[in-house]
A and B are shown apart, each in its own frame.
Chain A
Amino acid sequence: MLALQILIDGFAISALYGLGAVGFTLMFGVCGVLNLAHGGIMVIAALAGWWVAADYGAGPYGGAAIGVGVGVVASFVTYYAVIRPIQRSRAIPAVEQEIFILTGTLLWGIMLQVGLDYLFSNNPVTMQPLLTGVVRIAEVRVPQNEILIAVLCWSVIGLLSLLVNRTRIGKQILAASINPRALTLLGFELSNIYLVVWTIYGVLAGLAGVLLASFLGASADNAGALTASAFTIVILGGLGSVPGSLIAAYIVGYAETLTAYLIAPTLRPIPALIILVIVIYLRPQGLLGRR
């Protein structure tokens, strides 16, 4: 009973962690960008979705759709206003681009968070659940919304995998993550591919934000913690590795759930961090990362 409860509970939360981290790791793998405004983009999507759903009667589905759209817009703004100017700047040496992108996205993330605080207050909001009601699995009561979220997360991850492995643009994205120069030599414009990746990223981050808001609730003040959580998972799984991120999401999700159930809710974040430290020392490239 307790075991089943842990199993079910951990599954949904891990799926959500996974969805949040997949976009983050894809972005790094293909574009080489560690976007520290990640949490900000998730939250702006969540808050925008909640706002139109609650104040303009868009309903849960309309709200979710608009939230995802806002996520895409925010992703483009991040790319055009922060990333591209840094990548094109002649004054920034190539070896230092990384720290500039980190600092730039960090600042942009702070601006998003503070701006959202101003507009929406820092009170957490919850999207209306897409489904209400609970079902019983064995003796465990499970909200239908939780099941829907897990299903949605995995569907989107599955769609992404289909896109990458079965479509032409997907192959280009995969190829760009392996060898961008070769792709140029084959006549593909990298800038177009990057634009597609930023779009996918916006959809993933936006959807993760909206689902998070409907499952656990979201507020602007969560932005930093959400970035940190995606970051932790991606490092654990291996920078740039999508399957690694999914595995890591489940490790973190279950480590947290097990701790919360079996030890104490207060200690929830600790084991994941300890696992992370051990992995970084023994295998700095992460579980499935390549050097």
Chain B
Amino acid sequence: MTIGATWRGAAAILFGLVALAGVARPAAAEDKTPIKIGIIAEESALLGKSIIDGARLAVADINAKGGVNGHQLELVVYDDHSSAADAVRAYQRAVQEDHVSGVVSTFISEVYLALEPWAARLKMPTITAAAASNLITKQVHDDYDKFKYVFEGWLPAPIIAQAVCDSSRDLFVDMLHMKTAAMMSEDADWTTPLDAAQADCLPKAGLQVVDHERFNPDTTDFTPIFSKIEAAQPDVIITGIAHVGVQPTVQWHDQHVPIPMGGNSGQATNPEFWKTTNGAAGGVITQTGTVPGVALTPMTLSVADEFVKATGKFPAFTGFTSYDDVRVLAEAMQRAGSTDPDKVVAEMEKTDMVGTLGHYGFYGRGDTYTHAMRYGPKDVTGVFMQWQDGNQVCIWPRDKCPNPMKFPDFVKTPEQRAAN
């Protein structure tokens, strides 16, 4: 072996050893302070950013009040790039390396579903801030002992559909005298149960479903979809979109599609939406957690103020859900007096808490949507909001939000059409 070769060989070995040694750490001694909570979300996505901000705020508030059982809370944040693979890796790191005691995660059903088996395997209380697929809770329901660590911190899709139908009856049928609707949904996991439930409940609410368009979430040109919907002549478009949002809204506006859009439009819940669409959002209606100025509970307004103070902006609805999810975890630990997963899960099931968006509790083992958030006027319903002149205006439930609806000029309600 020559000198040069020896040195290079040695360098290579060193490289290998450093690579291994760099990651070799003795198993951390069990240290009870502080209690760590893992946050897995994509920072680049606005909904993900709000999840992280909400969790930070909650931890600060809880720590200010003395923490949990005398321990301070500490956040560990992981960026999953909205990829299932990255999320799984982050999850493993959170549990096995950083030894968190609970995880709040992602708004994307696909990603959360990938975490679910790991929550079961690693026995870690885990709650999603917004993922809505009904498969999430179905797994918990079907195999409770294995999946009981999984919670859904927002409404499951069929219940979201119920809210859509309830609001549609009030807003579209009673107030605007509409009779027909078209459903327009991205082809994603959460919209499958959503569409099925809406197809069932919309007619009951008084809206005949005359068209149903599903499209690839990669779609960028929505002209054909709007054209097909227009040809079916519905009175309203009920959307089920979250991966897309800016593009259909802008094209709806630029092409002067004369039909109002309601339902769910995840990106439209984001306060920046007006800016990213250059105001094309005017008239768009969507379900969300809450909007500025609405006091759903005594906490809503003060937490919203804190958000504005801390980040300069009103958060997306995931900011509120994530704030509450951290509190749900913390209070369960407090009651359990430990971070033992089984004890914490048992306490989480007993959650009975005033949150920012309503009164929180989870469905039980016997219910269809085990471990999903309870829905109802006394629990959580979410609100429906409309973009009006750059503001998010609450329009439903009508008892809390009696504001009028306003549509851009190109949109024609049945009455306006009749008048023409």
Name A residues whose Cβ lies closer than 8 Å to a Cβ of B.
Answer: 2, 5, 9, 13, 54, 117-118, 121-129, 132, 134, 141-143, 145-146, 216-217, 219-220, 222, 225, 256-257, 260-261, 265-266, 268-269
Contacts and interface: CB of A to CB of B under 8 A. Distances in A.
Contact of A126 (B213, B215, B255, B276): B276
Given A123-B272, A260-B224, A143 B255 contact: yes
Name the residue among A122, A127, A128, A132 with the largest chain B CB count within 10 angstroms. Answer: A122
B276 A13 contact: no
Nearest to A116: B44
Interface stretch (B245-253, B307-315, B357-365): B245-253
Given A121-B45, A123-B272, A143-B255, A217 B220 contact: yes
Contact of A216 (B49, B214, B221, B225): B221
Contacts of B251: 216
Nearest to A222: B220
Contacts of A256: 221
A219 B221 CA distance: 14
Nearest to B231: A2
B215 A266 contact: yes
A121 B275 CA distance: 14
A110 to B, nearest CB: 12
Contacts of A128: 278
Interface of B: 42, 44-46, 49, 187, 213-216, 218-221, 223-225, 227-228, 231, 245-247, 250-251, 254-256, 267, 270, 272, 275-278, 280, 410
Contacts of B246: 123-126, 217, 219
Nearest to B49: A121
A132 to B, nearest CB: 8
Contacts of B45: 121-123
A261 B254 contact: no
30 contacts: A5-B227, A9-B223, A9-B227, A54-B275, A121-B45, A121-B46, A122-B45, A123-B270, A124-B245, A124-B247, A124-B276, A125-B246, A126-B247, A126-B276, A134-B254, A134-B255, A134-B410, A142-B255, A143-B255, A145-B254, A146-B255, A216-B220, A216-B247, A216-B251, A219-B246, A225-B218, A257-B224, A265-B224, A266-B215, A266-B216
Contacts of A216: 220-221, 247, 251
Contacts of A266: 187, 214-216
Contacts of B216: 265-266, 268-269
Given A121-B46, A219-B246, A220-B44, 7 more contacts: A9-B223, A128-B278, A143-B256, A145-B254, A217-B246, A257-B221, A265-B219
A222 B216 CA distance: 14
Nearest to A5: B227
Contacts of A143: 254-256
A261 B256 contact: no
Nearest to A16: B221
Nearest to A125: B276
A-B pairs with lowest CB-CB distance, top 8:
A260-B224, A265-B215, A117-B44, A217-B247, A124-B246, A128-B278, A143-B254, A122-B44
Contacts of B410: 134
A89 to B, nearest CB: 21
Contacts of B224: 9, 257, 260-261, 265
Nearest to A133: B256
Contact of B219 (A122, A132, A261, A268): A268
B138 to A, nearest CB: 24
B82 to A, nearest CB: 8
B136 to A, nearest CB: 24
Contacts of A222: 220
Name the residue among B45, B224, B277 with the largest chain A CB count within 10 angstroms. Answer: B224
Given A5-B227, A216-B247, A129 B46 contact: no
Contacts of B280: 126
Contact of B256 (A2, A9, A141, A257): A141
B277 A126 contact: yes
A58 to B, nearest CB: 13
A127 B278 contact: yes
Contacts of A260: 221, 224-225
A225 B216 CA distance: 14
B52 to A, nearest CB: 12
A132 B278 CA distance: 12
Contacts of A217: 220, 246-247, 250
A200 B214 CA distance: 40
A134 B46 contact: no
